[in-house]
Every structure is written in C-alpha cells, then in structure tokens.
Amino acid sequence: MNLSIDRLSTRHKLQLAVITSIVLVLTPILLLLGATSIQSLISLGFAICIGWFVSAVLTQSVNSGIQALETGLLNFKDGEFSSLLAYSANDELGRLCDVYNQTAEQLRQEKQWIYQRELMLDKVLQSSPQALVLIDSTDHVVFSNYSAKLLFNSDSKLEGLMRHALYQCAEEQVRQAMEMGRDGLFHLKQEQDETQTWHLSTGEFLLNNQQHKLYIFKQLTRELSRQEVAVWKKVIRIISHELNNSLGPMSSMLHSGQLLSKNLDEPRLGRVFSTMQERISHLNEFVQGYGKFAKLPKPKLEVIEWQGLLDSVQQQWHFTLGGCLPLKSCYTDKVQIEQLLINLLKNAHESGSAQSAICVKVEQKEAGTLLSVEDAGKGMNEAVMANALIPFYSTKASGSGLGLALCREIAEAHHGQLSLHNRGDGQTGLVVQVFIP
C-alpha cells in the first residue's frame, strides 16, 4: 500500500487527501442525521465527485509548476542553462520558478564566460613556444600543443597515445628526461651537429578526480645565446668607451706633433706620424665596427622588394640566384637585411668556394620567408660551428669575429632565427639560413 501511494504524483496525493477528508467528515454527519445506506452512498459519491473536481482545478497550477521545475532541473543536469521556465503564477511555486530563471541566467553567463576563457587559454597553449604534454593516471596523453608535436616528431595529434608510444616518436634524451620525473636541463643532438639545450618542468595535480602529470619543455638555446650576447655587448660598450676616451686625445696630440715638426728636417718623424695615424684610423674603424654590433637600432619595418635588393647586392658580390622569389610581402629593415646578406656573401667568398658555387635562395614558407646562402668551401667542423656565432670568435687571421654575430642579431631583431648547416649528400660547403617571420 505504501509503495502504491509513493508512486502517485503530488497532485494526486493532494486530491486523495481532499477526498479522504470529505469521507471522514461527511460519514459521521450522515450517521447522526439517520440517513439510510443508499442516501449515505449517494451523498458520499456526490461529495467525492465535487471534491475531486475542485481539488483538480486547484492543484492544476501545482502540477504545472512541478513539471516546469522538473524539466528545468533535467536541463541543468544536461548542462543546458539557456531554457527558462514559463510558469509565472503568483504563488510559492511561481516564486521558486522565478528564482530558477534567475539562477539559469547567471549560470548561462558564467558558462559563456568560462567557454570564452577556455578558447583563449587553448589558443595561448597551442601557440606557446613551450611544448606541453599532459598524461593521466592510465598513462594516456590527454593534452598536447603544436610545439609538443614538433618536439616528439609527430605528424598527428598526440592525444590518445600511451606513454610508451609517445617515447617511440621522441628522441632518447627526451624519454630519459621524462622518465627521471624531475625538473632539469637536457641536451638534444640535432642534424648538422647542432645541439639544443632544453629545460623540463614537471607538475602533478588532480583533474576530474584523476591524478595527472604535466610536462613542460622549454628550449633555452636561444635564451642562453641571448644572455651571452648581452654580456658581450656590455663588454664591447665598455671597451669602446675606453678606447674612444684615449683615441680622441691621441689624435689631437698627433696633429699637434705634426704641426710642431714641420720645420724640423727629420724624415723619420714623418714615418712615425704616418704609422701612428694609420693605427689610430684602424682603431677608430675597429671601435665603430664593434659599436654597430653593440648598439644595433630597432628595425624600421617596410615592405621589401627582394629582386631590387638582390640586384643591388649582386653589383658588389657575385652569386647565383636559386629558387623562386616569394610572392607575399615581407616586412623588414632593408638596410639591416642588406648588411646581413653582404656579411654572409663576404664569408662565402672567403671560404675558398668558387664564385659560381655561391648561391642565394629566397623561399616563401607558410610562416615567413627563408633566406639561404650556400657555398662550396670547406664547411665547419663541430668546434667551429659551436662558436661561430659568438662575438670576437674568428678562424681568420684578420677577422673581427663580428660578421655572423651581427647577422644573428639582425635576424633576432626581426624575431627570426639564423642557423648554420654543413651541406649534405657528400658535398662540401656551408649553408647559412635566416628565417624571417
């Protein structure tokens, strides 16, 4: 009996309570009035019908309100907050539905705000230069970004891969760093003898009641190089300052000495003054050259016309043009890019390469423009390539060690990158690539 009553709706329970009350109240009254059984039954039946009809009318709004709330709560369960309840009677259920509508509107706005923040966060994570990999407690990859795909040498998404499958795509050094499970540095050996320095950060947290582990890979090669160059620039500025402080008085004293010795008949003084003048001029050029590296101005970006630039440079340095020139516009500082190209061609001509083997290529890539200068010289061994971009480092007897360092500064000032590669396929020579986004 209790189970049968529990299955009844609230409206039917109210109607049953009304009918029960009528029967309990009317039966003693009929007995006191001495009504016959037939009269009592007719009276009770008539009263029950009226009570049922009246209670049905009065509880209609209750039934509508409860059904509206039930529908709304089912929407909440499904995460749907855009539907509002139409029930608006001026009773307790009406006020309850009004509170529901206000809550739904607030939750809808918060859900939309969270959705927009998730889109923004996903965009930031996907475009981050740091490689991010999130692995759950079952060793499945549940999140990765574009940089992670590049680090793990994968053409498809990493999501869904098991940890061991992820290791099959990665370099051995990456696997070892992840297996160690702690923060630290590791080195990746790339093609053409390049070595990259990476830093791994790890963290653990609960997500959807499951333990997850986050791996953050950050490449430090460029940052370390930038810090190294910053130190060199500071040293150069100090040296230039001290040299300028000395060269000024020396030049003035030399001029005074020349004036005082005009009336002296001593030919050796002329050679002495001439040598001093030559050395002072050389030191001035030396200081100006290093100052150009230490105080490289911010690029003045404009649309560059590659054909005109290459024709201008080709009047000074011989080279052949390979590939097709890019069709898309490239915004650079023309003066700085011209200086970069001249420095690279100068190195190529001094490498012992035949002029006919020196080639310049300008290629359009998806994310920018790739400028390449190839020669057929001796190339670089591992030790030279590791130090070639460091200021003051040179293998030439009369070299200043600033050519490639200045080229790298110009490339990075354009938010690009310069890289050195020995030519493959049994060919000797060097390829210098400059990518400009």
What ranges make up the beta strands (E) of 177-318? 184-189, 195-207, 210-219, 302-303
Q: pLDDT by residue for the chain (437 residues), tens digit each? A: 454 555 666 666 676 777 777 777 777 777 777 767 787 778 778 877 887 777 777 666 677 777 788 788 888 887 788 888 777 777 777 888 888 888 888 888 888 888 888 888 888 888 888 889 999 989 999 999 988 888 888 888 888 899 888 888 888 888 888 888 778 878 777 654 456 777 888 888 888 788 899 999 887 766 556 666 666 666 666 666 667 777 777 777 777 777 777 777 667 777 777 777 777 776 776 666 656 655 667 888 888 888 888 888 888 888 888 877 776 678 888 888 888 888 888 888 888 888 888 899 888 887 788 888 998 888 887 767 766 776 666 666 566 667 787 788 888 888 888 888 888 777 788 888 888 88
Let me know if 52 is exposed, middle or buried by CB neighbors in 10 A (0-12, 13-18, 19+): middle
User: How many domains is the chain partitioned into structurally?
Assistant: 4
The model's pTM is 0.44
* pLDDT score at 134: 92
Token pair for 216: 């953050």
114 within domain boundaries: no
Domain membership of residue 76 (yes or no) is: yes
**Does 315 lie in the same domain as 192?**
no
Query: What is the CATH classification number for the domain harbouring 398?
Result: 3.30.565.10
Residue corresponding to tokens 């890979």: 217
346 within some domain? yes
Give the domain-ending residue among 53, 73, 107. Answer: 107
One domain for residues 306 and 264: no
Give the full edge-to-edge strand order of the sheet including 359-364.
320-322, 359-364, 369-374, 430-436, 417-422
User: How many CB atoms are closer than 10 A to CB 359?
Assistant: 19
Residue 94, domain member (yes or no): yes
- Whether 121 maps to a domain, the answer reads no
Residues 229 and 163 in one domain: no
Torsions phi, psi for 297 (to 5 deg): -70, 160
Q: Nearest to residue 371, comparing CAs of 290, 284, 413, 310?
A: 310
Considering the domain architecture, whether residues 243 and 260 belong to the same structural domain is answered as: yes
What is the extent of the structural domain holding 63? 2-107
**29 in any annotated domain:** yes
29-38 contacts at long range (C-beta below 8 A, 24 or more positions apart): none
Whether the CB-CB separation of 299 and 333 falls below 8 Å is answered with yes
pLDDT confidence of residue 369: 87
Q: Decide if 308 is inside a domain.
A: yes
- Rounded to the nearest angstrom, the gap between the alpha carbon of residue 360 and the centroid of all alpha carbons in its chain is 31
